[in-house]
Amino acid sequence: MIDLLSWICLGLGGLLGIIGGIGMHRLPDFYTRLHAAGTTDTLCAALFLLGLGLQVGLTLASFKLFLIFAFIFFTSPTASHSLANAAMLGGIKPWTKNDA
């Protein structure tokens, strides 16, 4: 049962990564692409690491995977926010319906 749950997490993580890549390709401007990348990146990594943690069981490796997840969970949204802030200060305007 745990093996099946692990593979479901790994599969969903891969699917979410593909959806994030499609979003980065299809969305119209920097800010919406950044949102697609930042959101899917965090959840995709969480699902991958959860799936891998279920594969290895309760060991030192699963603790290390948890530490990796904690690092990604805090740094990925912070990096996305910093990039968006730098883009706004750099003069990149958000997309509006009038731009279409």
Q: Write the DSSP string, 29-53.
A: SHHHHHHHHHHHHHHHHHHHHHHHH
Distance between CA atoms of residues 66 and 53, nearest Å: 8
Chain-centroid distance, C-alpha 16: 8
* Length of the chain (residues): 100
Q: Given this model, what pLDDT does residue 100 score?
A: 65
Distance between CA atoms of residues 82 and 34, nearest Å: 11
pTM: 0.82
Across 53-71, b (16+ Cβ under 10 Å) vs e yields bbbeeeeeebeebeeebee
Tens digit of each residue's pLDDT (9 = 90 or more) over 38-69: 989 999 999 999 999 999 999 999 999 999 99
